[in-house]
Amino acid sequence: MTIYICGIMLTGLLMIAMAMHVLTYSGFNRIQKKWFTITFLSIMICAGSELAVHCGYYKPSFAGLLTVITVIQFSIAPMLAVLFSGALGLHRQARKASWFFFFSLLVEVVCAPSGLIFYFNEDGYFRGEYFFIYEILYTVGLVYLAISLVIVGRKFNHRDILTIIMVVVVLLGGIIPMTLYKINITYVSVGISACLCYIYYNDLIQQDTKLELVSNQNKLSDMQTHIISGLSSLIENRDTETGEHVARTARYVKTLAEDAVMDGVYADVIDTHFIELLYSLAPLHDVGKIVVSDQILKKPGRLTPEEFEQMKRHASAGGTVIGQILEGITDEEYIAFATDIAVHHHEKWDGSGYPSGLSGEEIPLSARIMAIADVFDALISERCYKKPMPLEEALRIIQEGAGAHFDPKLVEVFLRHREDFLM
C-alpha cells in the first residue's frame, strides 16, 4: 500500500510539474497549451481521486464524499483519450468528442445512488453489478486514443512511430496488471504516456518549425538573389558593359578569395561564409551608378575633372541605395557586407582613393578584393572610351599598383594564381 500511495503521489506531482512547464513554455501556442494543461491536470485529478478511495483509511462516514469523488474520476477517466488527442493536435476532433464527458458523467450520476457501477458500505469500496459499463466507456476511450494516434502519426508522416509504439506499450503496461491481477498502476502508466506524448508532439512541432524556418530562409535568400540580379540588370540597361562586367568580377573575387585562403593569406578572416557573401554581393559594387547621368556614364572620351567628380558619387551612393532597398528584408551583416563593397571598392592602399580616403587595412577586406577584380576586368575589357588592354600589360599595372592602389598581399596571390583568372 505504501508503494502504491507513493506512486500515485509522484504521478500527481509529475502532472503538476508538466502543467507548469507547459504554461511557461514558449514553443506552443495558446490552444496547444490549453489541451496539454487540461490533460495533465485531469490525470492528476483522476490519480488523486483513486488515491482518496484506495488509501486504506476508509470510514463509513466518508462514503458520500468518496462517491462524489469516484463519480468525477469515472467520468473523467474515459475522457483522457479525447484530451490526449486534443493535446496531440487534433483540436477540432477533440472538441467534437467532448460530449463523451457529459455522457459519461450522466451515466455515473444516474447509476451512483443505486450502486450499479460501484458502491461503498461499511467495509469500503466495491464494484457494482454493472461495473462493466465503466469498463465499456474506458475501452471506448482507449479505442478512440488508438485511432487518434494513427491519425496523428499519419499527420506527421510517421516520423516517430517508435514513440507511438512506446505510448501504447506503457498504457497496456498499466491496464493489463489492473485487469488480470488487480495491481492498480493505471494512472502511473497514463501519466508516463502523457509525458511521452508531450515529448513526441513537441519534437515533431519543433522539427516542423525548423523546416519552416529553413524554407523561409531559402525564400529570403532567393529574394535577395532576385533583388541583386534586378539591380544589376538595372545598371546593365544603362551601361551595356556592366552586365558582363558584374558576372566576371563576381567570379574573380570568389577565385581570389579562395586562392588567398589556399596561400594562408587572411585565412583568419576569409571562410566559406565570407566567400559566399563576397560572391553573391559583388554584383552590387557599381549599383550606385544609377545616380550618374547617361551623358557621363556613356561618354566615349576621357572625363573632365568635373565629370569625374560626378562619377565618383556612385561609390557613396551605392551604400545608400543598398541600405534603402535591402533594409527590412535581410540582416545587418548582409547589408553591411554589400555596403562595404559598393562604397569602398575605389579606396586605395595608400589612402588616395575615394570616397573616404581610407588606407591599408582600414579598407574592408571585401572591398580590397573587389578593387583588384574591378580594375583587372576594366583593363582587359573593351569600353565605350577604350580598347581592351593586352593581358601582360594589365598584369604589369596590377603588379605596379601593389602597396599603392592595391593590398600587396592580395596582389601576390593574384599574380601567383594568374592562370585562374584567365579561364
How many CA atoms does the CB half-sphere of 254 hold within 13 Å?
15
Name the helix (H) or strand (E) containing 120.
strand 118-121
Name the helix (H) or strand (E) containing 121.
strand 118-121
- In the structure grid, which three cell numbers stand for residue 141, read together? 476511450
Return the CATH fold of 2-211: Rhopdopsin 7-helix transmembrane proteins (1.20.1070)
Express each pLDDT in 238-276 by its tens digit. 655 545 778 889 999 999 999 999 999 999 999 999 999
Question: What pLDDT score does 179 carry?
Answer: 53
Backbone angles phi and psi of 187, in degrees to 5: -75, -20
Q: Average the pLDDT over each of 89-93, 104-108, 221-225, 412-416 and give the range with the smallest value.
A: 221-225
Question: What pLDDT score does 258 carry?
Answer: 96
More reliable by pLDDT, 339 or 182: 339
More reliable by pLDDT, 161 or 265: 265
Given CA atoms 168, 169, 171, 172 in this order, what sign does their dihedral have?
positive
Radius of gyration over every alpha carbon of the chain, rounded to an integer in angstroms = 37
- In the structure grid, which three cell numbers stand for residue 351, read together? 589612402
Please give the average per-residue pLDDT across 133-140, as a whole number.
85
Buried b vs exposed e over 45-56: b needs ≥16 C-beta within 10 Å? bbbbbbbbbbee
**Which band of pLDDT confidence, cut at 50, 70 and 90, is reported for residue 374?**
very high
Backbone angles phi and psi of 383, in degrees to 5: -125, 170
**Domain definitions of the chain by residue range:** 2-211, 239-421
Given a contact cutoff of 8 angstroms between Cβ atoms, the answer to whether 231 and 246 are in contact is no
CA 422 to chain CA centroid, nearest Å: 42
Given a contact cutoff of 8 angstroms between Cβ atoms, the answer to whether 369 and 340 are in contact is no
Backbone angles phi and psi of 363, in degrees to 5: -75, 130
Query: What is the C-alpha separation between 46 and 38, in angstroms, rounded?
Result: 12
Nearest to 407 by CA among 370, 382, 355: 370
Given a contact cutoff of 8 angstroms between Cβ atoms, the answer to whether 408 and 372 are in contact is no
Return the CATH fold of 239-421: Hypothetical protein af1432 (1.10.3210)
**For residue 146, pLDDT beyond 90:** no
Name the helix (H) or strand (E) containing 397.
helix 391-400
**For residue 174, pLDDT beyond 60:** no
Q: Which amino acid is at 346?
A: H
More reliable by pLDDT, 304 or 341: 341
Query: What is the C-alpha separation between 263 and 243, in angstroms, rounded?
Result: 31
Express each pLDDT in 185-234 by its tens digit. 677 767 777 777 777 777 777 777 777 777 777 777 777 677 776 666 66
**For residue 181, pLDDT beyond 50:** no
Given a contact cutoff of 8 angstroms between Cβ atoms, the answer to whether 191 and 197 are in contact is no
More reliable by pLDDT, 341 or 125: 341
Nearest to 230 by CA among 217, 220, 243: 243
Please give the average per-residue pLDDT across 88-114, as a whole number.
86
- How buried is residue 178: exposed, middle or buried, by Cβ count under 10 Å (0-12/13-18/19+)? middle
Among 86-90, 113-117, 136-140, 256-260, name the most confident range.
256-260
